Chain A
Amino acid sequence: MTSATTHSPATTGALAKTPARPRAKKVRGREERSTLASVALHGTLILASLVASFPVVWIVFISLGPKTAWQSPGEVLGNLSLDNYAKVLTDTDFPQWFGASVIVAGGTTLLGVFLAATAGYAVSRMRFPGHRQLMWSFLVTQMFPMAVLIVPLYELLARFDLIDNYLGLILTYATTAVPFCAWMMKGYFDTIPHEIDEAGRVDGLTPFGTFWRLIVPLAKPGLAVTAFYSFLTAWGEVAYASQFMGADHYTLAVGIRTFATESRADWAMMTAASVIILIPATLVFLVVQRNLVSGLTAGGTKS
């Protein structure tokens, strides 16, 4: 912000010298647009929305057709059916994978939000040795390539008997999601006035009591983004899940790949499964989307 305020006086000075330009024929207010500009604005946004949503619409469309629909999409409209869905839900292990993903993603969300919120709050409010380095190290953990972590992590989890175990996967995902979330939460907590903490202390609350009873309720938008991010990290991760989990505990991301062999993918099954997988993600998204902008803003601008 400082740079903006230092910039504008300079601009002001330069521009003030130029004589006032002749006014446009019709004087428009700040928030008004000409018809042409409106058409261009809405046209661009409609086009962009189509590009953004088309792949999703397309798999929904193909999933409603017969088995060969992916080769001849024209057949879909005349033969709408839910057969692919019925088949995925009854003839495959899909329900089991779904259950596994719900457990893993739910666990990651709970653990992720708890860890990120406490860490973010601590960094925002407390001064302790290594305070600055901690923020930097959160960023650094984002750089660790999975290729270097995956073999050692496998051995570590094996030692604690956590391979092929939901808890092992939840802990692994937490390490991916938490650093970024803590970073974001720190920015969010920074926007909550310190006076609130002081009031809590005066009323005799412990530091954790202040955090839990006063700050957490105020930080809901930030927590919503954190929950969304943790959930999606776990719901969509492929590499760890495919190496750490056995056939009895496949998550969706791993299980769905069994519909595709080396040479050929069963698109009827894959599209139907994909659509079912999308539903919980979209629901979580709808719940938090109002908070996304405000939650992310605080994290982004104040870091």
Chain B
Amino acid sequence: MVAPVVIVLAVLVLYPLGYGFYLSLTNANEANVARDIGAFHAPATYEMVGLDNYWSILSGADGDFYPRLTWTIVWTVSCVALHIAIGMGLALLLNRKMRAKLLYRALLILPWAVPAFVGVFAWRLMLNSQYGVFNEMITAVGLPAQNWLATPFAQKVAVIMVNVWIGVPFNMVALLGGLQSIPKELYEASEMDGASPWQRFVNVTLPGLRPVTNTVVLLGCIWTFNMFAVIYLLLGQNTTGEADILVTFAFRKAFTGVSDYSGAATYGIVILALLLAFSTFYRRRQLKTEQA
């Protein structure tokens, strides 16, 4: 019964991956791949260059990799930390008896139902430096207006903000589910023992949530590291390149100017290697704490 998935994944994921790896060992670009010009078929003229592409990236020779990597890590850590913190806060608030609970929950999950590109357009409209409502709101509370979509630092703040807005609902729902699976008796017992709310949170809630948080953090890191739509669509053509993470940078390499297919493929393989290393390390550490 597992066969359909395995076949689909093998053909559509493993094959392209292998081919991508092959491309990363060549110097393929738009000018030398096989293509049809009218009725004339031009065969591919690119050749194997071994590990040259990897060397030029990892040695820092292309000048783009390390700045992009640093920003990608900052971006991933800040987004995931904010996702978990805000998601946890809201889940804790929602996980109690109160009026209008269903209404709050529906409104708070709403950004999840909004397709990413629509959400990003809405934010682009709001963040417009000249007419945007966002600047009006923050100046109303005394903060300085920013040119959100143009200056590198403001761009970085803006993409994080939008990604947090999009990602919190998923984390909130997952953590809310986790909270509901913690047996009430544990809270009653610790309360009988006179534990303060903070002590209950640290000694009952956090350990009880660990299976959920472990999964959510791992998935969150992987998804955020590879997040494409938010950065690409929010900044569009205006980007200074400063706010590009590795994935959007690789995409631009492959599809703007003279398409550099081998360069983009090399970036892709490096990204995959980084994520594999991270998740292997993460799972190891997780298993160790579980056994301890």
Q: Is B182 an interface residue when CB atoms closer than 8 A count as contact?
A: yes
**Which residues from A are CB-within-8-Å of B96?**
31, 41
Q: In the complex the two chains form, what is the Cα distance from A141 to B187 in whole Å?
A: 39
Q: In the complex the two chains form, what is the Cα distance from A55 to B178 in whole Å?
A: 28
Closest to B226 in A: A145
Q: Select which of A42, A143, A253, A292 is within 8 A of B275 by beta carbon.
A: A143
Q: Is B31 an interface residue when CB atoms closer than 8 A count as contact?
A: no
Tell whether, in the assembled complex, residue A239 and residue B122 are in contact, meaning their CB atoms are under 8 Å apart: no
Tell whether, in the assembled complex, residue B228 and residue A239 are in contact, meaning their CB atoms are under 8 Å apart: yes
**Which residues from A are CB-within-8-Å of B128?**
70
Q: In the complex the two chains form, what is the Cα distance from A180 to B219 in whole Å?
A: 9
Tell whether, in the assembled complex, residue A20 and residue B215 are in contact, meaning their CB atoms are under 8 Å apart: no
Q: Select which of A151, A281, A285, A296 is within 8 A of B23 by beta carbon.
A: A151
Given A144-B272, A175-B12, A238-B233: A119 and B2 within 8 A (CB)?
yes
Stretch at the interface among A44-52, A77-85, A90-98, A197-205: A44-52
Q: In the complex the two chains form, what is the Cα distance from A137 to B8 in whole Å?
A: 13
Q: Is A166 an interface residue when CB atoms closer than 8 A count as contact?
A: no
Q: Select which of A11, A143, A150, A253 is within 8 A of B190 by beta carbon.
A: A11
8 Å CB contacts to A: which residues of B152-205? 165, 168-169, 173-174, 176-178, 180-182, 186-191, 193-195, 199, 203-204
Q: In the complex the two chains form, what is the Cα distance from A213 to B212 in whole Å?
A: 30
**Which residues from B are CB-within-8-Å of A207?**
1
What per-residue 1/0 map shows which CB atoms of A64-75 lie under 8 Å from chain B? 000000111100
Q: Is B82 an interface residue when CB atoms closer than 8 A count as contact?
A: no
Q: In the complex the two chains form, what is the Cα distance from A260 to B244 in whole Å?
A: 21
Q: Is B255 an interface residue when CB atoms closer than 8 A count as contact?
A: yes
**Which residues from B are CB-within-8-Å of A244?**
none
Q: Is A88 an interface residue when CB atoms closer than 8 A count as contact?
A: no
**Which residues from B are CB-within-8-Å of A175?**
8-9, 12-13
Tell whether, in the assembled complex, residue A55 and residue B126 are in contact, meaning their CB atoms are under 8 Å apart: yes
Sample (20) of A-B pairs whose CB atoms are under 8 Å apart: A3-B207, A7-B204, A7-B207, A15-B199, A42-B100, A55-B119, A58-B125, A70-B128, A126-B2, A144-B272, A146-B251, A148-B250, A149-B16, A151-B261, A155-B19, A156-B16, A174-B12, A278-B114, A284-B113, A293-B176
Closest 5 interchain pairs by CB? Answer: A148-B268, A297-B177, A236-B115, A147-B250, A152-B16
